[in-house]
Structure 1
Amino acid sequence: MKQKNASKYFDTNPSGWGLRGDPFLWEDLKSKFQKMNVPVSALELDRLLHKFFKELTGEPPNAATISS
């Protein structure tokens, strides 16, 4: 059965983690997106990723956090 929520974008883990907290942040983001239906546009996905990242970490993402 096809997954209908936007958490599907988090089904495949990155090949490596930059910081030891990254897997937990990944799971927290996946949880946030479980309440959203697909399709989410690329612009909306970007906006929501920034919003949820800030909610979960207390800081907005920046070039250093994105490229790690």
Structure 2
Amino acid sequence: MTVDELFVRQPMTWGLRGDPRVWEEMRKRLCGRELPADFFAARRLFEKTFAEIVGIDLKGTVGEGDNVYRKELSTGSGISDGTVSLHFWKFTGLPILVDRWAAAVGE
């Protein structure tokens, strides 16, 4: 199994319209990469990849309304087009990926 396989099933809900674009971009960047060996390596990989795409480090305090607009993530539709929910990624998106990693490696 490779890291991109953890992205096959998308979350049932998103924070904002830019979130699915981040999910897809992360999947593409991690395509073919072997699963990290331990929890901390997996978490760092997902956090680093997110930060490279969005330009934001999620290590600090993140509130429910915290978001960032990235033109390169826009599709041209919707009021929150190109806007990424930092709260969604810190408390839902990245934890989903870490949980999937743990299930895949039997941890």
TM-score bin (small chain): 0.7 to 0.9
* Count of residue pairs the alignment pairs up: 64
**Greater helix percent: which structure?**
1
Structure 1 residue identity aligned to 2:12: S
> 5+ residue gaps in structure 2?
64-85, 93-107
- 2: CA distance between counterparts of 1:31 and 1:46? 17
1:10 equivalent in structure 2: 7
- 1: CA distance between counterparts of 2:6 and 2:58? 18
State the identity %: 27
**Greater strand percent: which structure?**
2
- 1:67 shift after superposition: 2.4
2:76 aligned with 1:50 = no
Runs of 4+ with deviation above 6 angstroms:
none
TM-score (norm 2): 0.53
Question: Of the candidates 36, 54, 59, which is equivalent to residue 56 of structure 2?
Answer: 59
Higher Cα Rg: structure 1 or 2? 2
Question: Of the candidates 8, 21, 24, which is equivalent to residue 21 of structure 2?
Answer: 24
- 1: CA distance between counterparts of 2:91 and 2:41? 20
RMSD value, Cα: 1.7
